[in-house]
Structure 1
Amino acid sequence: MAKLGPGAVVGGLTLAALAVVGLLAFQANGAASRAVAAAPSASSSAAGAPSSAAPSASAQPSAPPLPGESGAGLRVVYSLKERQVWLVDPKKPVPVLASFKVTPGAVQPSLGAYTVYSRSAASDGTDGRKVEHVVRFAQQSGTVFGFSALVDESAQPTAAPDPKSKPGGIRSSRPDAQLLWDFAPNGTRVVVVA
């Protein structure tokens, strides 16, 4: 059996410690995002009347109100025109838990109600860039539609995008993608409105 020198042991322990610190930092970041989203908005009245939208982790001060035709029940609402997402839980004192801007892909989904059918913690986007917190809800004419965030906005694509692909990825900030990921497991309704 080969003997390990003191340098190899110290190096291995250092790498293990760095991995643990990185994991704890990642978990703390997600917990902070969820805590910000769960905090009541400053615009809520003292009587506890719900506001039309609570700020998300990106602290959007003037979010448009939840569209009236967005359905009922627990749901994610995505407005094509507003490029806005609302996370709605009618059982909460303030039903709109978060609202944030998104950047749509080259192709938009049709109006209607869908269901989250697939999720990936990390993946490659159709544009060849690394994405995380991928929440897929529709497939239409070969295009997959889902919400995600770029892991590194400054990074170049790891591979050339497929020229035949029609990107349907709907991108948000990393904190907002974390909120949506935590809110929308498989089976969650997604309502796409004009």
Structure 2
Amino acid sequence: MRVPARRLPSWVWVSGLTAAALVAVTFLAVKADKGPQPTASASPKPSASATAKPSASPDESEPVAVPDGSGTGRRIVYSLDQRRVWLVDASDASRRSFKVWPGTVNPVPGSYTVGTRREGGTGSDGVEIENIVFFTVSSGTNIAFSNAVDGSSPPPPASGVPTGGIRMRAADGDAVWKFGTAGTKVAVVD
């Protein structure tokens, strides 16, 4: 005589899969926290003046167009030549644009995603920084957006010191921190 097979209710399967997913995510989070962490750096290019600040050009009150070839959708756009960042929403509209002080090591133009983020730390120039948003490594140097806690512009770097911090004013750093969550696209253009 055959005994009919009993099927488990769907809620049992869903509960089991949810529990397994939570265990996997917790394991990965603990493992990532114990791994090597990038160090933040935020200094200008050697050619930058120590007193230089992002200055308002005559047309700074006018919106600056997002560079062509920077992709589509929600993203952070960083122009190496213009030393400018745009925060672009999903409809391809620029929500904010501002000048920045780049480090001595530039990222290669291309597409990246925001990875690690840190609320604060010390830049390679010894300045306390915050809103640190890492998105790539170039020539062995971590590249990240950040701002000085005291709002200052970065001092000139020591000769030959590679720095990858892209420093900005505090209000702009707050905006990048809120906008640039993990996985956010970053487009670097010339």
**Taking structure 1 as the reference length, what is the TM-score of the superposition?**
0.62
CA contact (8 A) 2:101 2:154 kept: no
Superposed CA RMSD: 2.2
Q: Secondary structure at the match of 1:178?
A: helix
Could you list the runs of 5+ residues in structure 1 that have no partner in the other structure? Answer: 1-59
- Aligned residue pairs total 130
CA contact (8 A) 1:63 1:100 kept: no
Which of these residues, 112, 123, 126, is aligned with residue 125 of structure 1?
123
CA contact (8 A) 2:114 2:133 kept: yes
2:45 counterpart of 1:77:
no
**Aligned counterpart, 2:87:** 87
User: Aligned partners of 2:152 and 2:144: how far apart in 1?
Assistant: 21
Aligned letter for 1:62?
E
CA deviations on 1:157-176 (whole Å, 9 max, x unpaired) are 9xxx8876410100110000
Q: Which has the larger radius of gyration?
A: 2
CA contact (8 A) 2:151 2:170 kept: no
Q: CA deviation at 1:177?
A: 0.5
The 1:181–1:154 alpha-carbon spacing in structure 2 relative to 1, beyond 3 Å, is closer
* Greater length-normalized contact order (CA 8 Å, ≥ 6 residues apart): 2
The 1:73–1:153 alpha-carbon spacing in structure 2 relative to 1, beyond 3 Å, is closer
Q: CA deviation at 1:155?
A: 9.9
CA contact (8 A) 2:153 2:167 kept: no
**Taking structure 2 as the reference length, what is the TM-score of the superposition?**
0.63
CA deviations on 1:23-58 (whole Å, 9 max, x unpaired) are xxxxxxxxxxxxxxxxxxxxxxxxxxxxxxxxxxxx
Q: Aligned ranges for residues 2-151 of structure 1 at < 5 Å?
A: 60-91=60-91, 95-151=93-149
The 1:106–1:63 alpha-carbon spacing in structure 2 relative to 1, beyond 3 Å, is farther
Which of these residues, 161, 172, 178, is aligned with residue 176 of structure 1?
172
Identity percentage of aligned residues: 43
Q: CA deviation at 1:107?
A: 1.4
2:181 counterpart of 1:192:
no
CA contact (8 A) 1:116 1:136 kept: yes
CA deviations on 1:165-190 (whole Å, 9 max, x unpaired) are 41010011000010010001011010
User: Aligned partners of 1:154 and 1:77: how far apart in 2?
Assistant: 23
User: Aligned partners of 1:77 and 1:184: how far apart in 2?
Assistant: 11
Aligned letter for 2:184?
T
Aligned letter for 1:187?
G
Q: CA deviation at 1:62?
A: 3.3
Q: CA deviation at 1:113?
A: 0.4
Could you list the runs of 5+ residues in structure 2 that have no partner in the other structure? Answer: 1-59
CA contact (8 A) 1:129 1:155 kept: no
